[in-house]
Amino acid sequence: MSLVLVFPGQGAQYVGMGFDFCEGNERANAIFAIAEHTFGGGLKEAMFLGPEETLKKTDYTQPAIFTMSCAIYEAVKEMFAGRVAYTAGHSLGEYSALYAAGAFDFESGFKLVKRRGALMQEASSVNKGSMAAVLNLDDDKIAELCQKASSAGYIAAANFNSPGQVVVSGDTAAIDAGEAIAGELGARRYIKLAVAGAFHSKHMQSAADGLKAEIDGFDIRDAAIPVVSNFLAKDVKTADEIKNALVNQITGSVLWADSIRYMISNGADTFVEIGPGTALSGMIKKIDRNVKVFNIDKVADIEKITI
């Protein structure tokens, strides 16, 4: 068996997330306490009680998902000790993967995530945009969709999640124009996403520049376990490789399907999703139905893990 731990990104959040781990596990509770203090108060309330509108704000969402994912990892890490071949995370989830791989301590990672969220929020307010998930079009037709919709503004493929699931990002007018074009090209669905901006596109360049200017101020070290980068779809280990990948990830496409295939080609056969929701588990099953996939979102999920 070759085991991979994967961690979800923005969009997986929900009111009540992480409450049972916080209440029922001492190590998870310690992670929540550090997060609450470092955030300045109010994060746990948003996570456990809402309202949903607060939790959807990028500057809350990103720290919340990182906190829950790391708290669960702390609660269950003995189950996987010495058995993890890779870690990986979808977009924001890459920070949780880096934490699990030992690239930084929780407080350093939390501060980095908090700064990333703020920079992306700032970029979104300057370059307003949106995103949409396109189902059942191959990559060539996605390229055709973007080319045709570009008459209305900037649009590009942002997330290659799984066969038949690609997210496009760009100017709202171009995203709106893409809906009719997607239908003409045979898409099964075109789902506009409730996000603050055009993530993983050139509209995030100011956020990438900001992170690049500040990232040396954070304590990042070589990873003890290879972490597969969204931007490269291959593993990184050194501190410099990690920093470059995190900066490039902000404007680059999320190559999730290629990342999963890369790990499978190198022997990975069992994946455990750690954090809110089951989105990554569904994607991985679509990429390769021969691998084992589990998820841990609630305390009760731990009993379902058979590895």
> Taking the domains of the chain in order of start, what are their residue ranges?
3-125+202-304, 129-192
Out of 130, 162, 169, 200, the active site residue is: 200
Residue 265 backbone class (left: φ over 0; alpha: ψ -120 to 50; beta: rest): alpha
pLDDT above 90: residue 1? no
Token pair of 133 as six digits:
């998930």
Residues in Cβ contact with 137 at an 8 Å cutoff, skipping those fewer than 6 apart: 145, 164, 166, 182, 185, 186, 187
Structurally, at CATH architecture level, domain 3-125+202-304 sits in 3-Layer(aba) Sandwich (3.40)
- Per-residue pLDDT of 157-214, as tens digits, reads 999 999 999 999 999 999 999 999 999 999 999 999 978 899 999 999 999 999 999 9
Give the domain 129-192 fold.
Alpha-Beta Plaits (3.30.70)
| Residue 172 Cα distances to 149, 154, 204, angstroms | 11, 9, 14
Q: What's the pLDDT at 76?
A: 97
> Any catalytic annotation for residue 200?
yes
What pLDDT band is residue 307 in, cutting at 50, 70 and 90? confident
- Per-residue pLDDT of 15-45, as tens digits, reads 999 999 999 999 999 999 999 999 999 999 9
**For the whole model, what pTM was predicted?**
0.96
Out of 69, 90, 91, 253, the active site residue is: 91
Determine the Cα–Cα distance for residues 148 and 143; give it in Å rounded to an integer.
Answer: 9
- Beta strand 227-228 pairing with 165-170: unpaired
Q: What's the pLDDT at 59?
A: 87
- Per-residue pLDDT of 215-247, as tens digits, reads 999 999 999 999 999 999 999 999 999 999 999
Are 86 and 263 a contacting pair, CB within 8 Å?
yes
Same fold, 3-125+202-304 and 129-192: no
